[in-house]
Amino acid sequence: MINKISNWFLLVLLFLTLSSFFDFNQNNEKDKLLIEIISYVIERGHFDPKNIDNEFSENMFKEFIENMDGQHRFFLSSDIGNFKKYKYDLDDQIINSKTTFFDLVYNKLIQRQEIVKNFYEEILNKPFSFNEDEIISLDYKNAPYPTTLNDLKFLWRKRLKLSTLSIYVDKKEDQINQKKIDSSHAILDDYILEKQSREITLSNMKNFFDSVDELNRNDYFNIYINSLVKQFDPHSFYFSPNEKETFDTSISGKFEGIGARLGKKNQQITILEVISGGPVWKGNLLEPGDVILKVSDSSGDPVEVTGMRLDDVVKLIKGPKGTNVILNVKRVDGTVNDVNIVRDIVELEESYAKASIIKKNEINYGLIYLPKFYVDFKSYNERNAANDVKKLIIQLKKEKINGLVLDLRDNGGGSLQTVVDITGYFIKTGPVVQVKSTGGKKQVLRDRDPSIIWNGPLVVLVNELSASASEILAAALQDYNRAIVIGSKQTFGKGTVQNVVDLNKIIAGNSYGNLGALKLTTDKFYRINGGSTQLEGVKSDIIFPNRYSFIEIGEKDQENPLPWDFIGSAQFSPSDTKNNFEYVQNESNKRIVSNTYLNLLKEEAKWVKEQQDQYKYSLNYSEFVRNRDSIVKISKKFDKIGNYRSDLTIDWIEEDRLEIDANNSFKEKRARWKETLTKDIQLNEAINILSDIVQKQKAPILAIK
C-alpha cells in the first residue's frame, strides 16, 4: 500500500485551521456535522472528486431510495412522487448541511413499516392455494411501486406466498423421502404441511421486523451518508463507529465464522469471496456468486435474509467456533440447497503462498499459488508474500523445474511493495507500476535489484476475481514480455487505492461523540505502458473459459467506477522471451477449441448467465416443482465437468515432504490440494503452454545470484 500519512497530516492540519470558520452553533446536530466534515474531506482528499450539482443530486436520490426500499416493500408511488420534489435539491442540502430530504423519507418509511406490520399477519392467517396459475416477478429494479395500500398488500401477499411455497415444497419432499426410508411413516396431509409452512413464514416475518425495529435513526442516516459517498466511486465508504470496529476486526485476519466475505446486490446477500483457510474453503461449500436466501442454526427455523441489512445477516451467520449454521443457498447455476457449516477460526496459514511440482512427460514444472499479497505492516522483514515466493522459487529450482506457473486466480490484492519485489524476481531492474495520487502527484515504483531469481518460461493464471495488486503483477510481467497470461477475458479491473481517515481526528474539541471513519479513494494504479488497470484490468494473452465468463462481476459492473485513462509510458525494456508467442498461442487455442470439457464449460457459463437473469417464479405448486426439477436436470448435465482429471503427476517440494511426514493435518491439506490440482483444467493448459515454450525456446536457466 502507498504511505499517505504525510498527505493526510496536511489535510488534517488544514481542516483544524478552517474548523473555526464552521458555525457549529447553527448546525449543532451530529448528522449535519457529519455531512459537513465528509463533504469537506472528500472534496479535498478524493482522487477524483465530482461536482456536487444537479446530476450528482439526481444520482444520489436514486441510490438513497434504492437503499431504503429497493424491494418496494413499503413505499407507494405517491410517496416516490413526493420525494421527487427534492430530486435536484440534494446538492444544495449537502452544501448547506441540511437533512430535510432525509427526514422526509425516513419518517415516511417508519410510517409505511407500521402499516405493513398491521397486515402481514392477517395475510398469513389464511391458507394459500398452490393450485392457481399465478406468477411473481422479483425484478425489483424495473418493477413499479404499488399505487395504493391495497396494491401494496397484494404485493406482500404474493411474496409471502412464494416464501411459504418454497418451504412447503421442501416439507413435502421431506415427507416423501421419509416414506422411502421408513415404509411405516405416515405422510402428513397437504393442509397440515401448508399450515406449518405458513407458520414458519410468519416466524420469519416476525424476526425480520424485530431486526427492523432495532434500527434507529442513526442507522438510516448512515445509509444516507453512504448514498452520498458512493457517488464518488464504489470503494469509498463511511463507517459508523460500530462498522469501523467490524472493519478493524476483518483486516486483523483472525476471527471466528464461516470464512466468507458477503456483499449485497439487487437486495440479495451474495458470496463475494471465499477466504482461504476458513470452514467454507475447507469443505468447498460455497463459491463467489452464490446467493444466501435463509439462515438458521441447527435448533431454529430458517430466517429469510433477502432484503435484510448486510450487518444483520452477518450477525446471524457469525458465531463461536464449533457451532453450526445452516445456509439455504441459491447456487450460481440456479439450484437451491442447504449448506451446513461448522464455524471455526480462519487458519491464516492457508492464506500464504504454497508450491507444488507438476510432472508431465517426465519433465518437472513448478506451481506457486498466491492467494493474496500479505505483509506484516509493523515489520516488512517479517513473513510476507514476496519473501515466501522467493523461497518457493529457490526450492522449486532445486527440483530442476523447466517452467513456472504463478497462480493469481481469486487474488484480491494486498501489499503493493510485495508486488514490486515479486516482479523483480523475473526482471533485472526497472519500473513496476505507476501511481497517481490526489492532487496529480505521480510516482513510479521500481525494482532496483539486478538479480533474477527465475528467467525461465513463466505462465500467470488469472480470472475475473484477480484484482488490484494481482493485476499490477500480471500487467508488469505482461508488459516486460516475461509471462504469458492465461485466464478470463480480463481481470477484475480495480485500479484504485483506498485510505481510511478517522473523522474523530479531523475536528479539535469534538463534543458529538464518535464520528466513525471514512474510507476514501486516494490513488490510482497505472501500468508501466501508461494505461490504467481501472475498469480494463489485464487482458489475457490466451482466453480460457470458466463459469463466470458471462456474469457481471468486475469493476465495470459496479456503481460509479472511476474511468480508465492513460498517463504515458514509463521507460522500460521488454525482454525478447516471447518470440514464439504466436506459435504457443495458436497451439493453446487449438487445444481449447477441441476440448470436450471446455466446450461444456462454455455452455454452462451461458446457462449460468440465463439463471442469473431469471426473475419470474410460478406460485403454482406443480409448475414451481417442474421449473425447479428442470433446473436440477440441466445442472446435472454439467456435472460431467467435475469428472475431468488430468494426467499430471503432483509432487511436493522437499520442505513440504518433511512436513507431510511429521504432520497429519498438513498431510490432509496437501492431499486435498492435490485432488484440486488434478481437476484443474486451466492449470493443465498452463502446463501444456510451458511444454510448448520449452520445446521452442530451450532457454538456459540463470543460476541464483
Strands 458-461 and 484-487: parallel
Contact 397, 436 (CB under 8 A): no
What 8-state DSSP symbol labels residue 504? G
- Asked whether the predicted pLDDT for residue 2 surpasses 80, the reply is no
Cβ-based neighbours of 470, under 8 Å, separated by 6 or more:
370, 373, 408, 411, 412, 413, 462, 491
Distances (CA, A) of 596 to 540, 599, 609, 637, 682: 22, 5, 20, 13, 14
Instruction: Name the active-site residue from 468, 488, 532, 646.
Output: 468
Taking Cα atoms as reference points, which of 554, 578, 385 lies closest to residue 462?
Answer: 554
The answer, yes or no, to whether residue 155 has pLDDT greater than 80, is yes
Q: What is the pLDDT of residues 336-375, one digit of tens each?
A: 889 999 988 765 566 789 999 999 999 999 999 999 898 8
Percentage of the chain modeled with pLDDT above 70 = 90
The pLDDT score that the predictor gives to residue 266 is 63
Between CA 225 and CA 38 the distance in angstroms is: 8
- Answer yes or no: are the C-beta atoms of 335 and 289 closer than 8 Å: no
User: Which has the minimum average pLDDT: 108-122, 242-256, 420-434, 467-481?
Assistant: 242-256
Q: Which domains does the chain have, with CATH numbers?
A: 50-229 (no CATH), 255-345 (2.30.42.10), 348-697 (3.90.226.10)
CA–CA gap between residue 542 and residue 490 (Å, rounded)? 10
Among the listed residues 494, 524, 578, 669, the single catalytic one is 494
Q: Where does the pLDDT of residue 20 fall: very low under 50, low under 70, confident under 90, or very high at 90 and above? A: very low
Q: In the 8-state DSSP scheme, what is residue 140?
A: T
Bridge-partner residues for 124, per DSSP?
none
- Burial pattern 251-275, b for ≥16 Cβ within 10 A else e, equals eeeeebbbbbebebebbbbbbbbbb
Q: What is the per-residue pLDDT across 659-704, written as a single tens digit (0 to 9) for each?
A: 999 888 788 889 989 999 999 999 999 999 999 998 886 644 444 4
Three-state SS for 539-568 is ECCEECCCCCCCCCCCHHHCCCCCCCCECC
pLDDT mean over 288-309:
82
Question: 44-76, pLDDT tens digit by residue?
Answer: 999 999 999 999 999 999 999 999 999 999 999
Q: How far apart are CA 279 and CA 589, in angstroms?
A: 37
* pLDDT at 152 exceeding the cut of 90: yes
Q: Which residue has the cell 464449460?
A: 601
Range picked from 116-120, 319-323, 330-334 for highest mean pLDDT: 116-120
Section 475-497 average pLDDT: 96
The count of C-alpha atoms lying within 13 angstroms of the C-alpha of 227, restricted to the half-sphere facing its C-beta, is: 24
- Element of type H or E holding 21: none
Give the pLDDT score at 508: 66
User: Which residue in 318, 311, 309, 310 sits closest to 259, CA to CA?
Assistant: 318
Alpha carbon dihedral 223, 225, 231, 233, in 10-degree steps, equals -90
The mean pLDDT value for 201-228 works out to: 90
Of 435, 684, 440, the C-alpha closest to 544 is 684
Amino acid occupying residue 413:
G
CA distance 577 to 483: 8
- Read off the C-alpha cell for 677: 490440482
Longest dimension (CA), the chain: 82
- Is the separation of the CB atoms in 309 and 216 below 8 Å? no
For residue 334, the model assigns a pLDDT of 81
> How far is the CA of 114 from the CAs of 80, 110, 111, 187, 411, in angstroms?
18, 6, 5, 39, 45
Mean pLDDT of 487-504: 93
| Per-residue confidence (pLDDT) for residue 255, from 0 to 100 | 62
Per DSSP bridges, beta strands 354-360 and 363-369 are: antiparallel
The pLDDT value given to residue 246: 59
Would you place residue 115 in the very low, low, confident or very high pLDDT band (cuts 50, 70, 90)? Answer: very high
What's the pLDDT tens digit per position in 511-559? 677 888 999 999 999 999 999 999 999 999 999 998 888 888 889 989 9
Residue 261 confidence (pLDDT):
81
pLDDT at position 347: 56
Helix (H, G, I), strand (E, B) or coil at 363: strand
- Tell me how crowded residue 307 is: count the other CB atoms within 10 A of its CB: 18
Please state the three-class secondary structure of 218-258 as a single string: HHHHHHHHHHHHCCCCCCCEEECHHHHHHHHHHHHCCCEEC
pLDDT for position 312: 80
Return the residue matching grid coordinates 413526493. Answer: 82
Query: From the candidates 333, 479, 541, 692, which is the catalytic residue?
Result: 479
Q: pLDDT tens, 380-417?
A: 677 789 999 999 999 999 999 999 999 999 999 888 99
206 catalytic per annotation: no
Across the strands, what pairs with 239?
A: 517
Asked if residue 455 has pLDDT above 70, the reply is yes
535-546 pLDDT, tens per residue? Answer: 999 999 999 998
Mean pLDDT for the stretch of residues 440-446: 93
4 is catalytic: no
pLDDT at 250 over 50: no
Task: Give the pLDDT confidence score for residue 432 in this predicted structure.
Answer: 97
587-640 pLDDT, tens digit each: 999 999 999 999 999 999 999 888 888 889 999 999 999 999 999 899 889 999
Model pTM greater than 0.85? no
Amino acid identity, residue 27? Answer: N
Q: Is 381 exposed, middle or buried (0-12, 13-18, 19+ CB in 10 A)?
A: exposed
Cell of residue 426, nine digits: 523475473
Is the confidence at residue 211, as pLDDT, over 70?
A: yes
CA–CA dist 590, 603 (Å, integer): 18
Between the alpha carbon of residue 470 and those of residues 394, 406, 461, 467, 493, the distances in Å are 21, 11, 10, 6, 10
Dist CA 95 CA 90 (whole Å): 8
Query: Mean pLDDT throughout 485-500?
Result: 94
Sole residue written with cell 440465463: 610
Q: Which residue has the higher pLDDT, 312 or 615?
A: 615
State residue 346's pLDDT score: 65
> 464, 491 in Cβ contact below 8 A?
yes
* Res. 299: pLDDT tops 70: no
pLDDT at 702: 45
pLDDT-derived band at 25, boundaries 50, 70, 90: very low
State yes or no: is 479 an active-site residue: yes
Residue 247 has pLDDT above 70, yes or no: no
Residue length of the chain:
705
Cα(136)–Cα(134) distance, integer angstroms? 7
Report the C-alpha gap between 335 and 414 in whole angstroms: 34
Mean pLDDT, the chain, rounded, equals 88
pLDDT value, residue 18: 37
CA distance 1 to 435: 11
Distance CA(416)–CA(468), nearest Å, equals 9
